[in-house]
Amino acid sequence: MAPRRIVVLGGSGFVGSALVARLAANGDELVVPARRRDRARHLILLPTVDVVEADIHDPAALAGLVRGAAAVVNLVGILNESGRDTFAHVHAGLARNVVAACRSAGVRRLLHMSALNADPSGPSRYLASKGEAESSVTASGLAWTVFRPSVIFGPGDSFLTLFARLAHMMPVIALAAPDARFQPVYVGDVVAAFERALATPATEGQRYDLCGPKVYTLRELVRWASETSGAVRPIVPLRGGLATLQAFVLEHLPGKLMSRDNLASMSRDNVCGCPFPPVFGIEPAALEAVAPSWLAPEALRDKYDAARSTTGR
């Protein structure tokens, strides 16, 4: 099969990096527009990947980037707003621009990353903007596929790894929304679904919820991640006004570990009512089977050692 030219927006991120590496291994030619090339330096060495610095919010620049592509993948997303990077701009606005760029450049295939519970009238601005983005994509007339994953875990995630780090830093974990339910899905399974969708016409015009094999409460996940990383910590559940207060404080601190909008998103169970879509032929991985490889104390120690030797400390 001749190499395909695929444009991956958001290719420098956690999911994007895994997808780009997987597609590059097939010999596809990948174009990864990045705000800053150095953010995508880990991709530059891949032989068929072209990282280009570009402003994808500029409609003319975007149309130029996607021209001639066999497919466009949009993975761009944020969990928290900052400055001009509002949910409306980054999710809904960009999705509209991507659709317009594909149409004007004659690209028919579009893979769009949404999120489980995305809904224009959803309980948070995150979910509402994700829902609006989906609406633009599904009304586009393009050959679209929409993916709606629960929370995604994998090496370098900002989920299990974050809980493990927090456990190593704090004597006690004060946890908002401890009863919120999630069905985490492995990044390897998510990117395999994207890869297979590109080769499977039956996935055109379809929306897929993506979840792993098991449902957990947030409290169970935090306990499991901290114990697996070798730091057993008491968990203090925060509910109601206390949870909102904690989110309010954290959203004003650097790193924004949590926001009131995140809390509102968690008011809906983040679980699938169906198995992993059979069309992909994937048996989704359980987190207990794969996550210890990067969360276990020796794996974390190796990572810290590598970071120390890089920084010379």
Binding site for ligand NAP (CB under 6 A): 10, 12-16, 34-36, 39, 56, 75-78, 85, 90, 113, 115, 149, 151-152, 159
152: β partners:
185
Name the one residue in this structure whose structure tokens are 């994007």.
16
292 class by beta-carbon count within 10 Å (0-12 exposed, 13-18 middle, 19+ buried): middle
Residue 115 Cβ, how far from ligand NAP at the closest point, in Å?
4
Q: What are phi and psi of 121, to 5 degrees?
A: -110, 30
Q: What distances in angstroms separate CA 61 from CA 57, 86, 221, 223, one per listed residue?
A: 8, 20, 42, 46
CB 76 within 8 A of CB 258: no
Give CA torsion, residues 232, 236, 238, 242, to 10 deg: -120
As measured in angstroms, the least distance from the Cβ of 35 to ligand NAP is 4
Closer to ligand NAP by CB, 117 or 140: give it: 117
Distance CA 117, CA 111 (A): 18
Q: Which of 226, 189, 224 is nearest to 208 (CA)?
A: 189
Cite the DSSP H helix spans in 26-74.
41-44, 59-66
Q: What minimum distance in Å lies between the beta carbon of 242 and ligand NAP? A: 25
158, 230, 251, 278 from 91: Cα distances, Å: 19, 37, 20, 28
Q: Considering beta carbons, is residue 197 or 241 the nearer one to ligand NAP?
A: 197
- Smallest distance, Å, CB 161 to ligand NAP? 11
Shortest reach from residue 202's CB to ligand NAP, in Å: 23
Q: Tell me how far apart the alpha carbons of residues 312 and 35 are, in angstroms, rounded to a whole number.
A: 28
Residue nearest to ligand NAP (CB): 13
76 or 243: CB nearest ligand NAP: 76
Nearer of residues 76 and 173 to ligand NAP, judged by Cβ: 76
Contact 100, 121 (CB under 8 A): no
The SS3 call for residue 50 is: strand
Residue with smaller CB distance to ligand NAP, 36 or 239: 36
Q: How far is the CB of 123 from ligand NAP (least distance, A)?
A: 16
CB of 171 to ligand NAP, least distance (A): 27
Nearer residue to ligand NAP within complex by CB, 16 or 122: 16
**Which lies closer to ligand NAP via its Cβ, residue 153 or residue 243?**
153
CA–CA separation, 112 and 75 (whole Å): 7
Residue number, 80 or 244, with CB nearest to ligand NAP: 80
Q: How far is the CB of 16 from ligand NAP (least distance, A)?
A: 5
